[in-house]
Amino acid sequence: MTKPPQQTSCPVPEAERTWWKESVVYQIYPRSFADSDGDGIGDIPGIIDRLDHVADLGADAIWLNPVYESPQHDNGYDISDYRSIHHEYGTMGDWEELLAQVHERDMRLVMDLVVNHTSVDHEWFQRSRRRDPDYEDYYIWREGEDGEAPNNWESFFGGSAWTYDEERGKYYLHLYDESQPDLNWRNPAVRRDIFDTMEWWLEKGIDGFRLDVINLLSKAAGLPDGDPDAEWTGARHFVDGPRLLAYLEAMDEQVLSNYDAMTVGEMPQLSVEQARKYAGTDGPLDMAFHFQHTKLDYEDGKRWSVGDWDLPELKQITRRWHDGLSAEGWNALFWENHDQPRVVSRYGDPETYHRESATMLGTFMLTRSGTPYVYQGQELGMTNAQWTDVESLADVDARRATRELLDSGQYDSFEEVADIVGYRSRDNARTPMQWDDSDHAGFTDGEPWLPVNTNYEEVNVAAQADDSVTAYYRSLIELRAEHDAFVYGTYEDLHPEHERLAAYTQTLEYPDGGVSERMLAVLNFSADREPVELPTTVEDADLLLSNYDRDAITPTTAHEPYEARVFRLE
Ligand code: TEU
């Protein structure tokens, strides 16, 4: 191996380093992680009992999905009280203990905050519908037109984004379920209340926020009609709206900038240009989730469909986001979350090459610059589950989509839509975490709120041996912690057009020139044995990691199905 040139400077200047850039974040969906009291619903004491699993994996931070008081129509994304803990999950005392235990393990805690909307049960909404003068304008109320909704905007969960409220005698806007009315961010009192809430949690010692659908806060004035041909009618009037930047800048100035807290904004339909505005180096947020790589398998752009996907398109998206943000911002990297199907069922092969494809996909996520987010169970290679009828689905979105598909007249029975719904439903991510091979996978002593995936006897934490998916994730995370090139390096795609192999370098240079480290990853995204056409056999390269049992690669070693190879070139 060539020696790095003698340099006095450090490749990554201190000013550019932050803890959240160097973190691997582990996402916990409380309802499905671990149940301590046998009611079938995961809870905070259950999370505390299992924290060592997260720490042993090498995670640096936890993103906790909403645990605030909520009627749970959308599993906590419908908050009825921002300052208390949902009773099924525990008490504020339990939550405080969780924070302490996370910190004790040198990890950080990032809370999920939903401020585009509340629950209809929130006191603000109850007062608003009664026309309490202090709360009258907390939500977006409009008269209908001749007994019809004020305009044709559509809820993300389907149907009109407006619901008529008998008590107030007006329609209110809800971009999600009718139980989730949108807050009126134009009202300074709403902004003040939300900023106070954020400050309240930060004062408790949390380390940041994941901000739910944060690019939807600013709605166009005058309520224009939407575009009925768009994927989401009306979206152009509320995604990336006119005052969004001002709202987020105020949030940063008045609250966030006073803390060493990280922020990741969830931003549906986000473009690179918008990401630079909100999460660029000078932007109010630290990073943003975009969803372009989660739509590769849509047919004709439709969410409720199952289409073929291709690797050059994934690489193109990866390049676009790396090139667009690496110098002027920061990327958030993920495959899964609580809304997405399991990645091994999507872009891998859960039947024949479960371990190989799960680890290869993990390699793609954990060897590139940005902050990676591992969703609970991804480190086991958890797969999509089995859905037999509409009643077996719990997700408000999937249930509604199923009814709509059946009502469309194109399908006659659940069996006919099962392939689409079963593949796409958010329930796939929400089946209980698989801890061991005992009843209900060790998730609960009671009846789980959502059935455990039938493969739990093979796929579970206790069964993970030295050559398991989890052990490989651990090695990946360790490798990332050892080499700044994976975190801060420049990504270069060596073969953008190859349909089965991905090959890229991550290069870390000194500010005054000269390479500090150069890594190469070559990943086989197919079940085919691929001959060597790519520079995987560079002389002097050190093989750092592979998901096959290899000591070395000779110049002719073909790529096995879903093989991942990571080298150090310099
Ligand atoms: O999701 C926002 C959202 O639009 C997602 O539904 C996402 O774009 C979609 O699943 C991609 O396929 C957030 C939360 O993550 C989700 O759980 C909530 O239901 C939603 O907001 C409303 O709060």
pLDDT in tens, the chain (570 residues): 444 444 456 899 998 999 999 999 999 999 999 999 999 999 999 999 999 999 999 999 999 999 999 999 999 999 999 999 999 999 999 999 999 999 999 999 999 999 999 999 999 999 999 999 999 999 999 999 888 999 999 999 989 999 999 999 999 999 999 999 999 999 999 999 999 999 999 999 999 999 999 999 999 988 889 998 888 999 999 999 999 999 999 999 999 999 999 999 999 999 999 999 999 999 999 999 999 999 999 999 899 999 999 999 999 999 999 999 988 999 999 999 999 999 999 999 999 999 999 999 999 999 999 999 999 999 999 999 999 988 999 999 999 999 999 999 999 899 899 999 999 999 999 999 999 999 999 999 999 999 999 999 999 999 999 999 999 999 999 999 999 999 999 999 999 999 999 999 999 999 888 999 999 999 999 999 988 877 666 667 899 999 999 887 877 788 999 999 999 999
Please tell me which residue in 74, 178, 266, 427 is annotated as part of the active site: 266
The per-residue pLDDT for 2 is 43
Is 214 in contact with 116 (CB distance < 8 Å)?
yes
- C-alpha of 361 from chain center: 15
* 562 touches ligand 1 (CB under 6 Å): no
The per-residue pLDDT for 540 is 72
The per-residue pLDDT for 482 is 97
Nearest to 57 by CA among 507, 433, 456, 508: 433
* 69 touches ligand 1 (CB under 6 Å): no
- C-alpha of 239 from chain center: 18
Nearest to 568 by CA among 505, 481, 502: 505
**β pairing state of 287-289 and 542-546:** unpaired
Asked about 212 being catalytic, the answer comes back as yes
- C-alpha of 87 from chain center: 25
523: its two tokens: 């990943």
Q: Model-level pTM?
A: 0.97
| Separation of alpha carbons 261 and 256, rounded Å | 7
Q: What angle do CA 493, 498, 501 make, to 5 degrees?
A: 80
Which of 77, 112, 174, 217 most suits a substitution to test ligand 1, by most atoms within 8 Å of the C-beta? 77
User: Which amino acid belongs to residue 371?
Assistant: T
Task: Quick: pLDDT tens for 256-287.
Answer: 999 999 999 999 999 999 999 999 999 999 99
User: Which amino acid belongs to residue 491?
Assistant: Y
246: its two tokens: 């001002």
The number of residues in the chain equals 570
Please tell me which residue in 35, 43, 212, 395 is annotated as part of the active site: 212
Asked about 240 being catalytic, the answer comes back as no
| Separation of alpha carbons 61 and 210, rounded Å | 12
Which of 176, 209, 292, 375 most suits a substitution to test ligand 1, by most atoms within 8 Å of the C-beta? 176
DSSP-derived secondary structure for 66-93:
P-EE---TTTTSS-SEEEEE-TTT--HH
The per-residue pLDDT for 533 is 76
The per-residue pLDDT for 535 is 67
217: its two tokens: 């806060």
Domain 19-118+188-392+466-472 has CATH 3.40.50.1370: no
Q: Residue with the nearest Cα to atom 1 of ligand 1?
A: 213
The per-residue pLDDT for 532 is 80
Is 194 in contact with 115 (CB distance < 8 Å)?
yes
Nearest to 452 by CA among 354, 377, 398, 344: 377
Which of 72, 75, 212 most suits a substitution to test ligand 1, by most atoms within 8 Å of the C-beta? 212
